Structure formats: C-alpha cells, structure tokens
Structure 1
C-alpha cells in the first residue's frame, strides 16, 4: 500500500507537470494565432498616429491621446485611468509658412518649432543674417547688436546634403576621405564656437531674442536625405522655425555671395496657458498575487515635427495590443498586469518618474517591467540592467517563445543599470527589475527619431507583430512563474575615468511644472 501511494504521488506529479506544459503550449499557441490572425495594430496606429497626430506634452492632442487610450482599454473590458502628475505649458501647433520675398519669391520647406510664439496672421518680415563662427566671447558680444530687427540663422551650414552612407557607397576613396576630414573640421569649429560663447543649441536663442532679433532660422539636419530634427524653440517672444538643409544652404550661399535675402515668417500657433499632465494606467488584476506586478511600459508623448509614429506610437500600440490579447486569452493572471503609457518622456522621463514617486509600495512587488521605445523594428537586444539573477528568470520566460521570435536576440547579462534614455531607467533606479527591449534600427536615428518624417508609413507592422507576440508570451510566463524575480544588484566596477566605484542610479523626481522657460 505504501509503494502504491508513492506511485500515485509520482503519477500525480507527472500529470500536473504534463498538464502545465500542455496549458503553457496552448496559451503560447493561442497568443501567436491571435497576434497574427486578428491583429488590431493597423487600426490602433491609424487612430493614434493619423487620427490624433503628434502628442506634445501639455498640448490638446496629448490629452486627446490619453483619453483615447483609456476609452480603448475600457472597450476591451480592461480597467484604465489617467493619473495626473503635474502641469505643462499647453501649446498647440497651427499653420506656418516660410517665404523668401527677396531676391525673388519662393516658399521654403520648414516649420515652426514647438513652443514658438505666434507671429499672428500678418507675420514678420526681415533681412537674414548668419551667425558666424566665433573665436572669442568678445566677437559674439560685438555681433549681437547687428541682429536687431533681423532673422538670424543659427545652425551650421552643411555644404553636402548627402548622408555619410551615400558618400561611402559612391565616392572614390580619396574623395570620401576628403569629405570626412572637411566635415569633421567644420563640426569641430562650430562646436568650439558654441563652447567659446557659453551657449548650446538648446540655449542659443535667448541672447538673440534679448538683442531684438525678429526671429530665428534653424536647420537641425538629421544626417539623412530630407530629414531634420524638430525640437523646441527656446524663446518666449520671437518665432523660431526650422528650414530644410537645401533651403537653408541656399540662404547661406546668397549671403556668402553678397545677396541679403528677406524672409516672411507666419506662425499661427496657440498658447493655452498651463494644462494638467497625465499617465494612462491600465490594469488586469491578478488573482493569486495581486500585489505583484508585470508592467508593460511605453511613452505615449512625442515631439510634433511628424506624428510620433516610431517614437513612440509603435511602443504604445504594442503594449495596448499585448493587453488586449492577454485580456482575451488570459483574463485571470496570477499577478497583476499594468500598462503604463507615460507622458513627457521626451522632456526627461517625467511621467514614469512620477509613477515611481507616486507608487513606492509597488516597487518591491514588481516582477518585471518590459519597456519599448526605440522604433518599429523587431526586438534584437536585451540587457540584464545590472540585476544579478536576471539571466535565470528572463531565460525561463524567453525559452517559452518560439525561436522565430528570439533567434536574433542578443542578451547581455548581467549588464549595467540604465541611467536614462527611456522609461525603464525610472524603475531601475528604484531597484525594480526593468528591461529595455531594444529594437532593430531601421534607420531610426537618422530618419525617424524626432524628425518631421516620423509618420505612419514608417511603421513595419510585421516587425511590431513579432514584438507583440513576444511580449505577450513574456508577460504570461512572468505572471505564471512560481518564483518572484530577484532584484539583487551586481557590485558595480570602478569607473576607469574617475578611479571611483560606479554608483547605482538614484530615483529622480519629475519636473512637475514645465515649459515656462
């Protein structure tokens, strides 16, 4: 009888293990089927990217995006809310035009920068003057009075609008090396000039505004065909526009050849004062361990040169689609699944830092944070972020995914803690196991990151579907795991530059009232 009981216990144990394996396989198979045969990604992308558009912090479009996300989650039966964490200057883009009116009439390609003051319907017209390279601070001080009443060009001139890869492909070796040498020299001279006068591209507008300039002309080339970075104005009284490399270069060459062009700038933006800022948080409540959490992390805000497609609508719709699929196929997770769509990542991880600050009780209960931010590509690199045992639990979770989703991924264990760059860093600083799921580049840095070309057509939906399937499987496995993930940290090495031991990042408070400078 004793032997019979032992046999029955072993049989029962094997049966449970077999059943669990079957259940796991069935769930993974169902996730794959739902991801590829019933995807909602294109619909979500259209609604967010084309329907709502760019999502600048504090803007009416940002609020519209948060409300859309809450309503979409609720339509799937998922609880969701907007959590206020601060307030920001509320600026709304309108129409803008940049016209050359002398020596002949021509519409220039460009746009108003975020938070730039409006000119009103009449616009402003003025002669163009180029900021030179300065050898001394005194030269700069002598130049400032000359800018009164002028439109000042404040970006470096780029004699070639061809990206480096294009030169490398077609030029002779001698020509390419000469181009590189001359380009590096010009860059060094320009950067040295800014250092000499004590300003950066972020702050250079203020002295010209104070000197009475009528406006500023930027051309922040992104080093790709037809793309510029579109950031913020940095002024409070005068308009700032960014002009294409091609048109900016023409203005520069006119000045060099003794012709002073005149431009008319018309910018019709609106200043709505201050507006509340939010995070959107959705929740699928855990059944067995509701106080332990898997957080699906992405920022929903963007710069507004384009429509924020790959930075970071792709991350946003990925996490929303993962939540939809899990709510349908895995509605009673063991641990609580949260989706965090953070606001104001672009101004310094403000939304995720605010969430960490507001919910310290959740930090010790975090099983994992999966963060996506950098573009439309399939996941290709994952770091352990300095958590000593990340290899153990991430290894278990990734092993459940089909090889087609994981075969290209490069892992770095234990890695080093992320100090910034994206929202996972806010959680890493709090000691919570948070991981950036790094994407394949797809020319992200040059062509879509913060540019006017970051639009719906740049999304590669096959890649995003792969990410949805993988993250849904990881979330399922993290929820089912009988073990709590370890947050034990590595001992950081010495910093070779300082000779001192590297320190774990510290929790940072967000900027809770922004856009006033």
Structure 2
C-alpha cells in the first residue's frame, strides 16, 4: 500500500471521527478563526447576480425622479417611491423620519440661454442652487469686470444695472491625453493600505494678521451686485468638453440677505464670450431662468427600513448611503449608486430568506451635500450627541454601520477608520471575494460622508474602498452625473459584497469591536484635555 493511500485513509478516518462525535466545522476562508458561511454567500451571489434589481432601482432614482436636492419635491417623491419598493419586498418599519429644520427647498424649472449678438448661439450653463431666477426672459449687454476688492466695487458703482456680469477671465482648456476612467492598480491599493506616518496636523483656522483674504468681502460683493440690479453673474465651470460642475450659491434661510441669479457656464462657451469682449465688440445675451423656492416644509427626512432579527433582534447592524444630490445631472454616481446598492443589499437579504440574528436597518440620508446633516441628526437622536458624548441606550446595541458613497466603482476593500481590532474579521469576510478583486484593508480614515457621523460618537462606521472610475474626473457634482455613467457589473458586485458583510455582522456571536469613546469637544473658552 502506498504512503499516499495511507494518508488518504487516515484523513478519511479523522473526518468520520469528527462527524460521529457531533461536531460540525464551520466553513472558514483562509486561516482566520472568524467563521464565514460560504453557503449563505452562494445564495447571496445567486440572488444578486442572477436576479439583480440594482440598475432598475438606479434608473428610477435618476431617470424618473431626477436630481434630488434636499428639500425639493423631487427628493420627496423619490423617497416615497423607495418606501413603497421596500415595503413590497417585505421590509418593515419603513418610513420617512423627519429631521430639521433644514431650510427651504429649491428647484430649477427652466434654463434657456443664448448669445444674441454679434451672432446667435445657444449657451450651456446651469444656475447655482438656492439662487433666484430672472423672472422671465431677459435680454441685456454682457460685460467682463473684476470684482476682487472693495476698490473694484467703488469704481464700478452705478455702471452695472441690468447687465450680465462675467466675473472671471477666460480659462485655458487642455487636451485630454489621459483616460477619464481609472481602476486602482495593485500598487495603488498597496500604497493605500500602508499606514501613513507623519507629524500631527496643526489646528486649522482663518487667516491671521497679515494673511490674505477677507472673510466679509463675499457678502459685501453680493450686496453690491444686488444693489446694482445686475441681471445675473456668469462664471466658467470646472471641467470641459460639456461637463459642468455646479453646486450652490444662495442660502436656504429665507431671512438671509438676497443674492442675484448666478450661472455656471460650460468653459468653452464662456471663453468664447470673453474673447469677443476682448476684441472690444459688444455682446448681447438672453437668459430665461426659472427657479422655485419651496417653503411649505422646512424639515428634511431620513428613509429607514428594517429586516427584523431573530434571537438578537434588539441589536442592530446598519447600512446606508446619502439619498440627496446636486442638480446639474441626475445624481447618479453621487449618490443614487450608493442608495441603490444599499436598497438592493436589503432586497437580496430578504429574498434569500437567510436567517439574521440581529435586526438589519437601512438609513438613506438627506442633507449630506450640505455637511452630512441628515446622518448627524439621526445619530444624535438615536445614539449619542457628539457635543456631550453621552450615549443613549441604543448606542450599546449597534454592531456597526457600513456606507457606500464613492460612485459606481467596484468595491476593492474597506477603510477601517483606525479600528485595528476589526482587521482579522474583515479579512475573513473579504476572502470569498478575492476573485472579484476585493482584498484591501487600510487602517486609514476617509472623510466627507456619512460613516463619520457614527465614528464621531465611538460607533464602528466604515466606508468601502471603490475604484474611482470617472468619479473625480467627470461625474462628481457635475452635469454628467447621469445613469449612463453607472457601471452595471460593479453595482451588482457591490450589492452582493455589502449583503455578505451585513449577513456576517448580523450573525456573529459578538458585536464588532469598537475604538475608545471620543472625548467631547472643548467648550468655547476652555482648553481641551
């Protein structure tokens, strides 16, 4: 008998002995002691890859309901649709939970712009959010002016009434020799996984004595433009090739000082106007901009829904994404993509019928684009106030929160936010997805989105690492943030990965480990300890 046959029989005998002793070895990925349920992952993949609804969800949020500024009728309608969808999947406790006040809503209902002289040409542009319209078509002279100092304002006083004001010189437009889209290379992921070491960052602050800048000047310039009665201001947008990046320009508070219509233009069209003016030739424009402020309800909402847990139903795992967007496009990569992935992850978990020991709750946030306002309000109400760091009872029940808000790109790993103790756990949970190129954990923090609301009060909050694709180069806050820029295969993959992470977080014996509770911020006039 060969030694190979002997080893095979010995292995079979050991396996039979284990089974007859009544033990079942959990399927484990790699060498980690953290159990990974491969049968559950099979069912999650089967549902998420074979019967995906993620692109259908994305199309409704973007194509049907369009841009979703917080406080607008669009976002309210999208939220009500999402409530009905999740109820139809069998989720419970589904509601639009109010928070606020946020302030006025705003929509752009009409924008038409043309150069009338010296020749006729349509112009591409977008009004800044929370700015007024033109109160009908306005035809007027365009002038290029410098408005950088109080002396500039004094020199121009009484000369700008009824005119369109170009506020910046022409901007050079370079050719695009590099591709717009990008996926992380292995080296880039390795660099991202490396912990940065450096001196602590100093405190931020405004300009000191002798520093450049005058914090009060923008308000004085706006007041000047209002008093002059200008028709509108025009400025070149960041981006080119038809992509225009546009955000806000006015206030959500109706009692704040007024502003003037503000238009961000495609740089190529703006530059053409400047070049004609540089030739000392008059330019006449016609704009018709209708913007509407919505004051009926100054509160915003968080969309919440749940899958009830079993023996640990009093404990929670949360997932979320921000539901709101800017208005230049339809808010596809920022952040219908994240919202659709999280909705689809909930649908997958419900459709598979997998047992969840803990309750799983989704939160879709509004007010993120104005400063992570919705998730911060939710965490303050339900878990802890970051000003006092006094936890509410639910603080002890939350295992963790997972967030998606980096566009359409495939998930490649997780930002750990400095939480060293979760490393072996997430390593095990990632192992079944190495064939989808998810393999990177980085101890680094990442900012700018809603997991920070949880992390700020000592709760485990995580954002996934995603391939950038065209997020920073083309779609983020731009007119090209539309459904067509969404990558379907990445979205399906992301929903499956999120569903798997949530399943394992909901079913492990212990809550996810936490970092120490942060200290409350120092009160004004006191010194932080």
Bin of the TM-score, shorter chain as denominator length: 0.7 to 0.9
Normalization by structure 1: what TM-score?
0.81
Counterpart for residue 409 of structure 2:
377
Deviations 1:444-480 (A, max 9, x none): 1121000011111000010111111111111111111
Separation in structure 1 between the aligned mates of residue 135 and residue 21 of structure 2, nearest angstrom: 76
Residues 104 and 288 of structure 1, relative CA distance in 2, 3 Å threshold: same
* Cross-structure match for 1:130: 144
SS at match of 2:100: strand
CA distance in 1, matches of 2:38, 2:455: 31
Answer whether contact 1:333 1:480 (CA < 8 A) is retained: yes
- Indicate conservation of the 8 Å contact 1:295/1:368, yes or no: yes
Q: Following TM superposition, by how much is the alpha carbon of 1:17 offset from its aligned partner in structure 2, in angstroms?
A: 2.9
DSSP-derived class of the 1:263 partner = strand
Matches of residues 33-44 of structure 1 in structure 2 within 5 Å?
Answer: 33-44=46-57
- Separation in 2, partners of 1:57, 1:436: 22
State the 1:321 CA deviation: 0.4
CA distance 1:104–1:45, change in 2 (3 Å):
same
Q: CA deviation at 1:391?
A: 1.0
Distance 2:146 2:310 in 1: 65
* TM-score, length basis structure 2: 0.79
Aligned residue for 1:294, secondary structure, equals strand
Equivalent residue pairs, number: 456
In structure 2, the residue matched to 1:232 is 248
CA distance in 2, matches of 1:161, 1:145: 38
* C-alpha contact 1:144 1:208 (8 A) present in aligned 2: no
**Equivalence map 1:112-511=2 (5 Å):** 112-121=127-136, 123-132=137-146, 134=148, 137-160=150-173, 162-163=175-176, 165=178, 196=213, 198=215, 205-222=222-239, 224-234=240-250, 236-275=258-297, 276-360=299-383, 361-399=393-431, 401-405=432-436, 407-413=437-443, 415-416=444-445, 418=446, 420-489=447-516
Normalized per residue, the structure richer in helix is 1
Contact 1:205 1:234 in 2 (8 A): no
Q: How does 1:7-86 map to 2 (within 5 A)?
A: 15-18=23-26, 24-79=37-92, 80-86=94-100
- The separation in 2 between residues aligned to 1:202 and 1:398, in whole angstroms, is 50
Distance 1:367 1:263 in 2: 58
The CA distance in 2 between the partners of 1:398 and 1:362, in whole Å, is 28
Cα-Cα RMSD: 3.0
Instruction: Tell me by how many angstroms 1:9 deviates.
Output: 11
Structure 1 equivalent of residue 8 of structure 2: none
Q: Distance in 1 between matches of 2:313 and 2:169?
A: 55
Deviations 1:97-117 (A, max 9, x none): 112122222221122222221
Q: Name stretches of at least 5 consecutive residues in structure 1 with no aligned partner.
A: 1-6, 168-193, 491-502, 508-517
Segments of structure 2 that go 5 or more residues without pairing to the other structure are 1-14, 30-34, 181-210, 252-257, 384-392, 523-529
CA displacement 1:205-235 (0-9 Å, x = unmatched): 454224332211122223x432111112327
Whether the aligned pair in 1 keeps the contact of 2:134 and 2:231 (CA below 8 Å) is no
1:206 and 1:444 mapped to 2: Cα distance?
A: 35
Q: Which secondary structure does the structure 1 equivalent of 2:23 belong to?
A: helix
Contact map agreement 2:222 2:260 (CA 8 A) in 1: no
**Cα separation, 2, equivalents of 1:337 and 1:206:** 50
Q: In structure 2, do the counterparts of structure 1 residues 111 and 327 end up closer, same or farther at CA, with 3 Å as the change threshold?
A: same
2:197 aligns to what? none
